[in-house]
């Protein structure tokens, strides 16, 4: 899970707002924040409060930002309050959270000072009904996708490096595996039983179709190798974006590991095509640049026909960037996500 912190950062530039005389654009790292004109200048150190950080009401009130926050429940409170930092477009310009003057040195973690807490969406009822069971040691979790807007994460992949960029789908992470002759299904963290005590089938077993069984068996070399298919389950019962699918019927595959080694994208495409399994939309394959990230992170989803999407929001949650040749860093496998400001703005407080 990507970490969210309130940090002291240096303002790289202050730009005029193209559509508002009383606003300026503060830029630092991979973020922009719209502020009142004359409030900051290049070289200032500011505390950045990023989207999806919670701050207590008294802190928000003291800073005069309460009215700009979204409703959520701050840990320890019994009722919702305006405590969750969000992202918006102000007169067309993305503004990721807010910033404030600080005496701290650049890079200092201010999360504890401001009593910031990472926002965790509430689990839907169907998720809580799942029954977990002991997992197999080879049933490993998927890559931890860090936030590619952070300079230290974005710099892990140099411009010009061959990458694939897929659309990030708003659903729930799925693992479907064939290990030691047994099929195992689960969420990002847990292996789950197919049925609960009341006979309800777990959403995480829906992707285990006949086609999926055939693909896993095909890649397992006669059951000798552990194979895990990583994908996303989506639909009207999963999250607030349905992509035109009812219930839990939507599924896309985005990665496969065999004996703990992720397959090249070309091999994944061949396996998925052979067995009729839908892949996460590939938006781009080629050399990485900041320009291509900015071009692809926003816009309409390409998963499903907009005419059949019932969700109010028909845009992209964001993108996932993965190197075509496997690379590793201190953060793990080299891959990152970039989330769309439009998705962050439209997402309702505590809606999923």
CATH numbers and ranges of domains, the chain: 7-118 (no CATH), 125-346 (3.30.470.30)
In the predicted model, what is the mean pLDDT of residues 44-62? 96
In the predicted model, what is the mean pLDDT of residues 27-55? 96
Tens-place pLDDT, residues 230-264: 999 999 999 999 999 999 999 999 999 999 999 99
Burial of 68 (0-12, 13-18, 19+ CB in 10 A): middle
Q: What is the pLDDT of residue 104?
A: 96
Query: Residue 350 — very low, low, confident or very high, per pLDDT cuts 50/70/90?
Result: low
In the predicted model, what is the mean pLDDT of residues 104-130? 86
Query: Residue 349 — very low, low, confident or very high, per pLDDT cuts 50/70/90?
Result: low
- From 336, 311, 345, 153, select the one nearest 242 (Cα to Cα): 311
Contact 226, 179 (CB under 8 A): yes
DSSP 79-108: S-EEEE--EEEETTEEEESEEEE--SPTT-
Its pTM stands at 0.89
∠ CA 97-99-104, nearest 5°, is 135
Residue 351 has pLDDT above 60, yes or no: no
């Amino acid at each position: 899970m990507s970490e969210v912190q309130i940090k002291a950062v240096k303002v790289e530039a202050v730009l005029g707002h193209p559509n508002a005389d009383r606003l300026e654009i503060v830029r630092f790292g991979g973020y922009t924040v719209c502020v009142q004109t004359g409030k900051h200048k290049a070289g200032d150190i500011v505390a950045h409060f990023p989207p999806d950080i919670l701050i207590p009401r008294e802190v928000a009130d003291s800073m005069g930002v309460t009215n700009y926050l979204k409703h959520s429940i701050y840990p320890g409170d019994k009722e919702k309050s305006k405590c969750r930092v969000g992202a918006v477009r102000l007169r067309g310009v993305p503004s990721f959270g807010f910033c404030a003057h600080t005496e701290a040195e650049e890079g200092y973690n201010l999360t504890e000072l401001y009593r910031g807490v990472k926002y965790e969406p509430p689990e839907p009822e169907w998720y809580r009904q799942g029954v977990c069971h002991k997992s197999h040691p080879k049933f490993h979790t998927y890559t931890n996708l860090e936030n590619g807007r952070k300079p230290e994460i974005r710099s892990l992949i140099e411009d010009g490096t061959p990458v694939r960029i897929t659309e990030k789908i708003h659903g729930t992470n799925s693992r479907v595996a064939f290990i030691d002759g047994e099929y195992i299904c689960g969420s990002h963290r847990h292996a789950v039983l197919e049925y609960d005590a009341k006979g309800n089938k777990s959403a995480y077993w829906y992707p285990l179709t006949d086609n999926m069984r055939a693909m896993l068996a095909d890649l397992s070399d006669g059951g000798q190798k552990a194979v895990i298919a990583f994908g996303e389950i989506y639909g009207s019962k999963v999250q607030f974006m349905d992509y035109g699918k009812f219930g839990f019927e939507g599924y896309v595959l985005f990665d496969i590991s065999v004996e703990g080694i992720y397959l090249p994208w070309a091999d994944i495409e061949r396996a998925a095509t052979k067995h009729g399994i839908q892949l996460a939309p590939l938006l781009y394959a080629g050399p990485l640049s900041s320009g291509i990230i900015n071009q692809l992170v926003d816009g309409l989803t390409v998963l499903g026909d907009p005419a059949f999407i019932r969700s109010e929001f028909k845009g992209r949650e964001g993108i996932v960037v993965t190197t075509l040749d496997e690379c590793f860093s201190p953060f793990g496998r080299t891959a990152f996500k970039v989330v769309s400001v439009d998705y962050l703005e439209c997402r309702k407080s505590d809606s999923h």
